Copies of this chain bind each other. A is one copy, B any other.
């Protein structure tokens, strides 16, 4: 499989391209409006034809490139039913699959950061969005976030995968690029080891994070697939 990880440095967002090396069909995960040109150029140079534009959730820190990429390529956008993004071409439910060439990307509901978060699995890799980060997790204090749900999502949907499964999140702020189920089960300071759900909820509720800078622009825009009304 063709696999490419890109970084949008202002919001430390990872965008991923997955492609079938034979049919050249591709999927993009968590695109960012500001880097759409870069991503489309790379897809073209790699000879890939975009089939699906997937968002792991309604992002609060950046505007998705989904709508703009759809306009430019004709690929179909896809996001969780629970994200309530009515402009999306494909509305995903737990267990749904997106095929690209001979590969399958499988969607899992992993609520907790938002109620409409999904993680996506293919070929030993899980794209965990803002649910499970590298030695961290997404926040749970906005967009119907819920630390109890997040705990169950991570423990039941991600930590049950094979230990060597690679974890590719939507962000990293320390310069890491991936993790594994084994590493997060052992070393995640919030949810690794023997942490109970009560301890995890306490940790999350004690974070007292600043109000997200772009949330009041990004969330409404992302509910419209990143295309603002004129």
Of the residues B9, B178, B183, contact of A175 by C-beta under 8 Å:
B9
Instruction: Report, as a range, how many residues of chain A touch the other chain.
Output: 20 to 34
Cross-chain contact B45 with A175 (CB below 8 angstroms): no
Most buried by B among A35, A42, A178: A42
Cross-chain contact B187 with A45 (CB below 8 angstroms): yes
* CB of A46 within 8 Å of the partner chain: yes
Most buried by B among A7, A8, A175: A175
* CB of A174 within 8 Å of the partner chain: yes
Cα of A6 to Cα of B45 in the assembled complex, Å: 25
Is chain A's binding surface mostly helix, strand, loop or mixed?
mixed
Which residues of B sit under 8 angstroms from A9, Cβ to Cβ? 9, 12, 175
Cross-chain contact A46 with B183 (CB below 8 angstroms): yes
Cross-chain contact B174 with A38 (CB below 8 angstroms): yes
Query: Among residues 167 to 190 in chain A, which have CB atoms less than 8 Å away from a CB atom of chain B?
Result: 174-178, 183, 186-187
Which residues of B sit under 8 angstroms from A174, Cβ to Cβ? 38
* Closest chain B residue to A5, Cβ basis: B177
Cα of A175 to Cα of B5 in the assembled complex, Å: 9
* CB of A142 within 8 Å of the partner chain: no
Cross-chain contact A6 with B38 (CB below 8 angstroms): no
Cross-chain contact B6 with A176 (CB below 8 angstroms): yes
Which residues of B sit under 8 angstroms from A175, Cβ to Cβ? 6-9, 35, 38
Cα of A186 to Cα of B45 in the assembled complex, Å: 9
Cα of A6 to Cα of B178 in the assembled complex, Å: 9
Cross-chain contact A177 with B45 (CB below 8 angstroms): no
User: A38-58 toward B: CB 8 Å interface, digit per residue (1/0)?
Assistant: 100010011000000000000
Q: Taking beta carbons and an 8 Å cutoff, which residues of A are in contact with B?
A: 4-9, 12, 35, 38, 42, 45-46, 174-178, 183, 186-187
